A and B are shown apart, each in its own frame.
Chain A
């Protein structure tokens, strides 16, 4: 009888050890010899911009996750982003990556036209290229991940219409008139505004993309239209510092703006801005790296256009958004928001 028990116990033990053994490497992340190293060169617009630093965090995090998941590859991110926005520098860096025989490139284009030929050179050299945040649609890039700017504009307008009960004068703050993505957002606003017969869109106002110029334009328009009830902003420039804080009466004019960076959060807390549309910039990195691996390693069919959904930030989810920003690697978020 004892022999029977010993045999049965051994069978169970061996089976369990086998089952656990299959999963063990998954846990430890060991990389035996023969593992293919995959280098993804990441070229964002500017390494001084925290938005892109969070995208870098996302890319590194995803590379780590994929390397742990798939045993035959070891994915690393080659962060190769210029200090400041410079399309020509991006072109130079793409060409260097081609020389270095990188395995793939992910890029946010500072200027879509300038980068088209460099992207095509990379693809012709057998290096797949994906764009994120800012596309180069005429190039041979295999995929793009970013927002649908027209839909974003529509969302901004709909939220503003709700805030002003569907009636009154509104204006659009449009940023750089030459930026294609901003113009698409403006067109989205105009399209959505047409659905509200009692809302009068008094104009679209363009300006240099900085805090001072945007606030100056804003105040000028408010003087022209003292009965203005709302602002639809396709970028958050006036709220990129504290200058606006004492220049507008909280809640009198409703403001809905794109971007929801740490510096802007106080405007929501003080009811100067009612809704911010935040972009999950961390996902620029995670989704881009995942898509590249799907294409070059998993041989999966990849959608050429992958849409990023923006997140409306109000006083109701200010705490959640603050914690989310912190998780993505943003600094300088007031701690008081974490407990909200």
Chain B
């Protein structure tokens, strides 16, 4: 497609900078909540002496409850009819409750048994994740519907993804903050205080998207007054929920996006620890100081490259379309991953930094383009089913990401063991162990990138098709506005 042929966003479809910023604040909170327990859980082990296996279990169980709660929340949000909208009330109260629960769940008393802490934290986590879902699912769905424009969606997701990076920059500092003996007597006390700070931050910042964002689809007044018998309503809703779930997971274009995300994101997550291990133990022969310095540098380059990639991808996508942009960006991750094979060199250590910017491009593109593309699928879905179900799509998409991440973390330990790695040997691992570690580190993301490219290459909602769908939807809305449960608020 010639860049000159690309569609120009109509003024009515543009989202103001302020609204994009407000929505992006939700990304900081969302990413913070998504990663914070993983980063703070070390206190459960080193501070309270809970067995690492139990700590791992504490992090794994909510992934299974999410499988139920995420789509239910998506369904509830989709079906909500209130004068404040389908999303904003949940975002508002979800942010306040999740902040409160987070602050409370870390107020762990000292001197109790391991199982006491396990159950205390498990119950706290389950409530936390319930409110996290209450906040995050409608917030994700809101992003899909803030604009109907093909390109403006990508710009919104670019801002969201860019701002969300600040959470990932902050998270690695949390352990250092909790361990800071100038502020806290021990890491447990540090965790208590940090949790309160984070809880307040989440509650205050998390409500911003609810206050400043404008929902595009709102319920007509008559709809919110519609009453049914409680039991009939419940039965009908359960049936509708499963029907909707089935339709969602059968939507081929959506599944392609899920596959693209699952493989690319988790392919990289799966070997995340490998890069550190290889750098420290192979390149620097077990010199943790030098290895950590380079890993810090690697992380900084990755962060800045990701941010630059988000800006670049957003711009390029408006010229050549989302699918081609995704394929180009993921190809760069593929090249970066292959490059790793050649860049782990104990005689030339700085080479470990070379793949970082290339790998970051695909990651920067992923959540910028995928959010925008899922929104396009929601339009297609509405065209075929007559319903707007951003909540359902968003919840299933993000549950798949979260589940994949949990599986990746769990599996990476097994993979490391399978290479023959023995932690006590430090840098003196066998040549075959290092061979397998490097092969996995380079090979898995490379293969995963290839699969992701293949999955998205056959994705059919092009820019032209997207505008056709939109046009048809708008015609239909004009015709059916009197019976449609949702009307466009523009």
Contact = CB atoms under 8 A, between A and B. Distances in A.
A72 B181 contact: yes
A214 to B, nearest CB: 25
B285 A320 contact: yes
Nearest to A335: B347
A19 interface: yes
Contacts, number: 122
Nearest to A21: B177
Contact of A324 (B173, B177, B286): B286
Nearest to B205: A12
A5 B21 contact: yes
A8 interface: yes
Interface string B169-212: 01001001101111100000000001001001100110010011
Interface stretch (B86-94, B146-154, B264-272, B426-434): B426-434
Interface string A218-243: 00000000000000000000000000
Interface string B274-291: 000000011011110110
Contacts of B211: 4, 8
A140 interface: no
Contacts of A160: none
B173 A320 contact: no
A19 B25 CA distance: 16
Given A23-B176, A327-B290, A319 B431 contact: yes
B205 A11 contact: yes
B166 A16 contact: yes
Contacts of B181: 70-73
B182 A25 contact: yes
Given A11-B204, A320-B427, A324-B428, A5 B284 contact: no
A311 interface: yes
Contacts of B426: 280, 311, 324
A265 to B, nearest CB: 12
A122 B114 CA distance: 38
Given A311-B424, A327-B285, A22 B429 contact: no
Contact of A323 (B182, B204, B286, B432): B286
A280 B287 CA distance: 12
A317 interface: yes
A160 to B, nearest CB: 19
Nearest to B427: A324
Given A16-B170, A320-B285, A323-B285, A8 B425 contact: no
A335 B289 CA distance: 21
A19 B18 contact: no
Nearest to B204: A11
A228 B397 CA distance: 68
Contact of B201 (A15, A309, A320): A15
Contacts of B18: 1, 5
Interface of A: 1, 4-5, 8-9, 11-12, 15-16, 18-20, 22-23, 25-26, 61, 65, 69-73, 278, 280, 309, 311, 313-314, 316-317, 319-328, 335, 338-340
25 contacts: A4-B212, A5-B212, A8-B25, A8-B205, A8-B211, A8-B212, A12-B208, A15-B200, A15-B201, A15-B204, A22-B173, A23-B176, A65-B289, A69-B179, A317-B433, A319-B346, A320-B281, A320-B429, A320-B434, A323-B427, A324-B285, A324-B286, A324-B428, A327-B290, A335-B347
Given A316-B430, A319-B431, 7 more contacts: A1-B18, A19-B197, A313-B428, A317-B428, A320-B285, A321-B427, A324-B428
Interface of B: 18, 21-22, 25, 28, 166, 170, 173, 176-177, 179-183, 194, 197, 200-201, 204-205, 208, 211-212, 281-282, 284-287, 289-290, 346-347, 424-434
Nearest 10 A/B pairs, CB to CB:
A323-B285, A324-B427, A327-B287, A71-B182, A23-B173, A327-B285, A321-B428, A26-B176, A316-B430, A317-B430
